[in-house]
Structure 1
Amino acid sequence: MDESSLRAVGWARSLPMNTGPKAARDWAREHLRTLGWAHSAPQTMDDVLLTVSELVTNAHVHAHSTARLVLAWDGRCLHVTVHDDDVALPTPRTPSGDRLGGRGMFLVDALADEWEARPCPDGKAVTACFHPPQAAEDAR
């Protein structure tokens, strides 16, 4: 096998605005179970599910858009990407006791090993990367 090739597995699902974040979490949970994360990395799995919920909610509430959720596992990192139709890139805001909301990207920033938002031709993609505990140790 060519050492430079990358082996990956991925899943994708479109979540219309009438689909709640619970449907996204349930779908993602089933795929994470196929990776064995329910037993080997339960805290990371919880962090991924909360991030899925936040990113899908942001697509529905702020972009007024269908959320296109993609999970891709490359053996070292689980990439959680949500595409939506709004070109405005998200930024974490400091939580405030004076307003509701505004904590989604702050949570993503705290939970993910890294994240990025990038413009796409018809909106944007927000990707959060998660290393399970063993992969994080191996990367050191």
Structure 2
Amino acid sequence: MAVRAVGWARSFPVSEGVRAAREWTAGHLASLPWNGSAADTVHSVLLSVSELVTNAHLHAAATAHLVLTWDGHCLHVSVADADPRLPGSREPDADEGATSGRGLGIVTALADSLDVHTCHGGKAITACFRPTGGPDPHDG
């Protein structure tokens, strides 16, 4: 049985900002067959892209390499950067206000699964999103 997948990849330097990554992602999500019927999943993916690209820009001070792959069951969202330090769970920093220290926790809560690993001298964080009402990856 052949697996049919579709994917896209693009690098987002710090100078382009997170908005560019979000807009690029939204454009590709629009081409997927479940885009119109799974608004919660679309919102979760876009928020996760914002968080992951922001983390790459802030913590690695580097270009974020974003890859989207739809395999028919799951949309894999992967963001890689040049910093080999793996993120750890941490309490939000009171000095930084209520807006810092929650990114990976948000992605963990939104995604169906999350993987963090080193690669090519840096790291990659990959989240899987199964569209609401989509196929169950444990079937067949």
TM-score, normalising length from structure 2?
A: 0.90
Within a 5 Å distance, the mapping from 1:1-40 to structure 2 comes to 3=1, 5-40=2-37
Residue 68 (structure 1) aligned with residue 65 (structure 2): yes
- The separation in 1 between residues aligned to 2:11 and 2:137, in whole angstroms, is 33
Judge conservation of contact 2:40–2:132 (CA < 8 Å) in 1: no
Judge conservation of contact 2:62–2:81 (CA < 8 Å) in 1: yes
Q: How many residues align?
A: 137
Aligned equivalent of 2:119: 120
Superimposed CA distance per residue, residues 69-98 of structure 1 (whole angstroms, 9 cap, x where no aligned partner): 000000000000001000011133344655
Judge conservation of contact 1:94–1:106 (CA < 8 Å) in 2: no
- The separation in 1 between residues aligned to 2:3 and 2:69, in whole angstroms, is 12
Q: What letter matches 2:32 in structure 1?
A: L
Q: What letter matches 2:87 in structure 1?
A: P
- 1:55 corresponds to which of 52, 55, 62: 52
- Residue 8 of structure 1: CA displacement? 0.3
Gaps of 5+ in 2: none
Which stretch of the first structure deviates more once superposed, 70-79 or 120-129? 120-129
Within a 5 Å distance, the mapping from 1:119-138 to structure 2 comes to 119-135=118-134, 137=136
Q: CA RMSD in A?
A: 1.7
Aligned equivalent of 2:79: 82
Q: What letter matches 2:43 in structure 1?
A: D
- The separation in 2 between residues aligned to 1:65 and 1:88, in whole angstroms, is 13
- The separation in 2 between residues aligned to 1:117 and 1:138, in whole angstroms, is 21
